[in-house]
Amino acid sequence: MLGKYLENVRKNHPLIHNITNYVTANDCANILLACGASPIMADSAEETAEITEKCAGLAINLGTLRKDVIPSMLAAGKKSNELMHPVLLDPVGAGASEFRTKTALLLLRELSFRVIRGNASEINTLAAGTGSTRGVDADQTDIVTASNIDSTIAKAKGLARMTGAVVVITGEIDLVVNKSRAYSIRNGHPMMGKVTGSGCMLSSLITAFISANPDSIFEAVVAAVCTMGLCGEVAAGRMQGQDGNASYRNYMIDAVYNIVPEELELGARYSTEIGEA
């Protein structure tokens, strides 16, 4: 089932506009090239709307948020909405500062997002309209576990109903949730947490998948999350000797470059979850 969504990315080569952070921009560009898409990074207000008009999808990432980039995010998002191109929000650090939280909530009010991807603390902040996080990492009390998965899904469904977006919560257990459905995904490896920007890369990857599969957004998101997690496992299997997190990052990008639909079909570990209404 999931392999066809990867296949469509490779076949359609979507051009993805990333308004992302300077820490991970290079890795986001490379993960897009690896999966078969093409990246463009533009955050100047003078060109963002024009650039995004030429693209198939838009990823907005708050990782290194600056006041002067907010108008660019709004202009690009409104143009994408007008053209009915899918837009993803990665609310990095929402809850860590008033500035980030207010900006994320402003974007939610002003723009229509097809996907919102963040860690549990970031998603909880958006769902509640307020919150706190430890920098850009999820608070330990928010991390998804077997004991809190139902309540976490309930919060995600609330945010999905409020925004109309597919909500993705990433961590040891990944969740993909809309207002009526929830999937848990158990692909991945702990080393992914040792690479700055693995979440940002996933957001760009998801944007490529939904842009190449606009009529199957939920399924395309599941496929993208499984792809990234599975490639994290493959990368861990290549580690040896003196390899560290820099090597792991490269192995992970290589794994995305080399993965084939059949491998995704066989290796994806996902299941439906009921959660609370």
Mean pLDDT of 175-189: 96
Tokens matching residue 182: 């929830």
pLDDT the model gives residue 97: 92
- How far is residue 35 from each of residues 15, 53, 68, 215, 265, measured CA to CA in Å? 12, 22, 31, 19, 16
Mean pLDDT of 211-231: 98
pLDDT the model gives residue 148: 79
Mean pLDDT of 16-26: 95
In the chain, what's the furthest Cα-to-Cα distance? 51
Q: Where are the domains of the chain?
A: 3-272
49, 81 Cβ separation under 8 angstroms: no
Q: Which residue do the tokens 């939920």 mark?
A: 218
pLDDT the model gives residue 188: 96
21, 200 Cβ separation under 8 angstroms: yes
Classify the phi-psi angles of 255: left when phi > 0, otherwise alpha if psi is within -120 to 50, otherwise beta. alpha
pLDDT at residue 140 tops 80: no
Mean pLDDT of 70-77: 97
The pLDDT tens digits of the residues spanning 93-128 come to 999 999 999 999 999 999 999 999 999 999 999 998
Mean pLDDT of 121-147: 69
CATH number for the domain whose boundaries are 3-272:
3.40.1190.20
pLDDT at residue 179 tops 90: yes
- How far is residue 85 from each of residues 112, 114, 135, measured CA to CA in Å? 10, 9, 31
pLDDT at residue 61 tops 50: yes
Mean pLDDT of 44-52: 94
Question: What angle (nearest 5°) sits at the alpha carbon of residue 213, between those of residues 152 and 53?
Answer: 105
pLDDT the model gives residue 128: 87
Q: Lowest-confidence range among 12-26, 118-132, 155-169?
A: 118-132
SS3 for 148?
Answer: coil
The pLDDT tens digits of the residues spanning 259-277 come to 999 999 999 999 987 655 4
pLDDT the model gives residue 274: 63
pLDDT the model gives residue 273: 75
pTM for this model (two decimals): 0.94
Instruction: Strand 57-61: give its sheet, edge to edge.
Output: 38-41, 15-19, 57-61, 87-90, 115-118, 166-169, 174-177, 182-185, 270-272
pLDDT the model gives residue 122: 94
pLDDT the model gives residue 103: 96
Q: Which residue do the tokens 């842009």 mark?
A: 211
Q: Lowest-confidence range among 64-68, 132-136, 172-176?
A: 132-136
The mean predicted confidence, pLDDT, of the chain is 93
pLDDT at residue 237 tops 90: yes
Label residue 132 by pLDDT band (50, 70, 90). Answer: low
